[in-house]
Amino acid sequence: MKKANILALFLLVLVVQVVFVPHVSIGGIQPDLPFLVAYAAGVHWGFLRGMAAGTGLGLLVDVAGGAAVGLSAMSGMMVGAAAGLLGGHVFRPTPAVHAGGLFGSVLLGGMTTLVLVQLLYSAYEWLDGMRAVVLPQTLYTVAVGLPAVLVFLNRIEKAERSRKTREEDAA
């Protein structure tokens, strides 16, 4: 993907997250789209690019949201890195592997944010934060995001396969 396309995708995800996603929140909990993008990037493009995508999107969220800069960047990076590890170790991930991987990655991202929020703002007790925010957020994000991630990864793989075939034919 070109750099301009990546930036456009990041901005689109951010706008959708701040404008549209709050309208589909359940009990005040909304799915976390930046985590989904970080996961997809990590699984498909590997550890470093997943880390970079998660950090970049997280920084954008931090700058737009007004909380401490680095908070969402750290959690996004964790999600991208975890997804990168998964993508690097599993040769052909099935939907079930993606479900588990996405759950684990988003859970890790949420737990990272919880720890940082506790350190920076002395807010949320551990169990309360896990029960009230991290777990519901993870379940909602996986429920909404798994089909989207599967479709997204499938399309990218198809596009890359057809590009390779074209290049081979041309050669």
Binding residues (CB under 8 A) for another protein: these are 11, 14-23, 25, 28-30, 32, 34, 47-48, 51, 55, 60-61, 63-74, 77, 81, 113-114, 116-117, 119-124, 132-133, 137
Q: Based on CB atoms, which residue is closest to another protein, 117 or 146? A: 117
CB of 93 to another protein, least distance (A): 19
CB of 29 to another protein, least distance (A): 6
Q: Based on CB atoms, which residue is closest to another protein, 72 or 149? A: 72
CB of 44 to another protein, least distance (A): 16
Of the chain, the end-to-end C-alpha distance in Å amounts to 22
For residue 29, list its beta bridge partners: 26
Question: How many whole angstroms separate alpha carbon 165 and alpha carbon 160?
Answer: 9
Q: Based on CB atoms, which residue is closest to another protein, 133 or 150? A: 133
Q: Based on CB atoms, which residue is closest to another protein, 40 or 71? A: 71
CB of 87 to another protein, least distance (A): 12
